[in-house]
Amino acid sequence: MPTYFPCPNTQCNYQFDAEILPPAAMVTCPLCRTRFPYRAQRTVAAPAGPPPLPAPADDRRTAGPRLVHLRDVPKGGGILTTLAWVGGFTVVLICLLAMITLRGRTTTDPSRDSTDERFNLKVEAFPPGWTGDATYSDKLMANVVVRKRSNPDGWIALAAKDFVDHEPRASEVEDLVKSRLRQGIANLFTEPIEGDKWSGREAVGFRFTGDLGEGPVRGEGYAMTYKGVGYVFITWAADADWAALRDELTGLRERVKPAGFREHWVAKRASTVTHDGDGYQVQDVDGVWQRGKPAEEWKSDEKHPYVVEDVKAIDSAATMVFRARYQIKERLDALRHPAEADALVVELPGGKDPLEAARAHVVDRIKKEYAGDPPDVKLEPLTKSPSGTPLPTGGPAIGRFLFRDPKDSQDRDVWVISAITVGGKTVAVEIKAKEKYASYVEEWMIHLAGSLRAK
């Protein structure tokens, strides 16, 4: 009589016939493919019985003994079952990818609070009537969200930039707003907003007018920074509707604020570069001023080095020379000549009013640029800032001036000059830029001139 024993895999119900297995071998279950060592049990020989009957003629078994007794293996479900499994796996995979992609991003539902972990941002629920609108996302580089209200129409656009290892400088924060307005709005005119705040923090603000593609618009743009991220809030409406919507639209920026994902973030790179002189220093708080140095002092990997072999060749009183460039990208035009500003730090004899001594020195420098008999050169006080940047107080004596070329009415320069007295000498920072470019670089000029300090 056959002796059966089960497959050692408890999840399998196959029964082995011990009489047709070898006395000792590694056996593989034909159903679950479990391999296990087998050794036959010793038994007392049974009395001989009648010989077995011959196999029927149509028996399809091989003549030799089989290692295992095969039973019918259940058949698969065919092509439909395979397609069902593949389809189910695909759906699960798509869901997982969607969850990974959307994890930590803001939702587009204005009626719900949403957060963005990457930009450390929280957007509180908007009032009823606001919907998502991606129409202006590309035009204004609004990489967070654009929303719209109707009757009358009004919009807000949110953008953010991670500066990774440093706090955005003042110029970088301002450029977050200006670059977006310049790219998206034709015939743009901006006016600075002084002393405004956003989420309890100091904010850069601008009123603006222009054309956004469907007629004249009016609005305001703001930028602030927190824990290495710069935030932009731009809101606008048709020129005729702005007065009625302004308070509602600008008030919505208080629903946009930093979240709590970056409380342990620490800047890894200094935002200010200090340049030391003999008893004084100037600071580049914007990170834009390249100091002129001889070619051998520049590293081979520096981009666009400002090579100045001899500072004294520019001005015998000069101790440092700097240049700053802003690449204008109005309406995606990155091929225009950059706006430039040139700065000198000079040491002059003391004993006079520092700012007047520096001003007189600049006039003498300009006169030397004319061959022969120089014309009457004047530096006129400039009361209106081209960029809307006020002159600082509490630091060095500082002034803003305009030079008009007597021989060319189209040639005008904006000068920013600061001066202090150090150790019996006058130290001055003298910076100029073409008037047509001053709106781009004047803030940098004022920051550098205003940083002059005695050590």
Residue 229, domain member (yes or no): yes
Looking at the domain assignment, is residue 76 inside a domain?
A: no
Shared domain for 253 and 279, answered yes or no, is no
> Which whole number is the average pLDDT over 27-46?
69
* Joined tokens for residue 154: 């009004």
Task: Give the SS3 label for residue 402.
Answer: strand
Q: Supply the Cα-derived Rg of the chain in whole angstroms.
A: 40
Is the same domain home to 411 and 285?
Answer: yes
Total domains present in the chain: 3
Q: Is the same domain home to 213 and 293?
A: no
DSSP H/E element including 201: strand 201-202
CATH number at residue 448: 3.40.1000
279 and 248 within one domain: no
For residues 323 and 402, state if they share a domain: yes
- Beta sheet of 114-116, edge-to-edge order: 114-116, 121-123, 256-258
Residue 337 has pLDDT above 50, yes or no: yes
State whether 354 and 423 are in the same domain: yes
Single residue among 258, 287, 310 that ends a domain in this structure: 258
Q: Could you give phi then psi for residue 132, rounded to 5 degrees?
A: -70, 145
Q: Is the same domain home to 321 and 352?
A: yes
74 found inside a domain: no
Q: How confident is the model at residue 305 (pLDDT cuts 50, 70, 90)?
A: confident
Does residue 330 sit within a domain?
yes
3-class secondary-structure state, position 455: coil
The answer to whether residue 66 sits within a structural domain is: no
pLDDT, tens digit, 9 for 90 and up, residues 384-429: 898 888 899 999 999 999 999 988 888 999 999 999 999 999 999 9
Q: Are residues 331 and 424 in the same domain?
A: yes
First CA to last CA across the chain, in angstroms? 108
Q: For 108-128, how does the pLDDT look when each residue is reduced to its tens digit (9 = 90+)? A: 577 788 899 999 999 999 999
Residue range 36-49: mean pLDDT, rounded: 58
206 with 322, same domain? no
Instruction: Give me the sign of the Cα torsion angle 346, 348, 354, 358.
Output: negative
Q: Which domain holds residue 245?
A: 114-258
Residues 119 and 8 reside in one and the same domain = no
Q: How far is CA 122 from CA 119, 159, 228, 261, in A?
A: 9, 12, 16, 10
Query: Amino acid identity, residue 394?
Result: G
**105 has pLDDT over 50:** no
In one-letter notation, the amino acid at residue 12 is C
Alpha-carbon distance of 128 to 150, in angstroms, equals 11
For the four alpha carbons of 387, 390, 395 and 400, in that order, the dihedral sign comes to positive
Task: Please indicate, yes or no, if residue 170 is contained in any of the structural domains.
Answer: yes
Asked if residue 56 is part of any domain, the answer here is: no
pLDDT band with cut points at 50, 70 and 90 for residue 233: very high
Sign of CA dihedral 319, 427, 317, 304: positive
User: Which of 226, 258, 290 delimits the end of a domain?
Assistant: 258
What is the distance between the alpha carbons of residues 92 and 50, in angstroms, rounded to a whole number? 63
CB-based contacts of 245: which residues, under 8 Å, 6+ apart?
Answer: 152, 154, 237
Could you tell me if residue 301 is inside a domain?
A: yes
Mean confidence (pLDDT) of the chain: 84
Q: Do 284 and 319 fall into the same domain?
A: yes
pTM, rounded to two decimals: 0.54
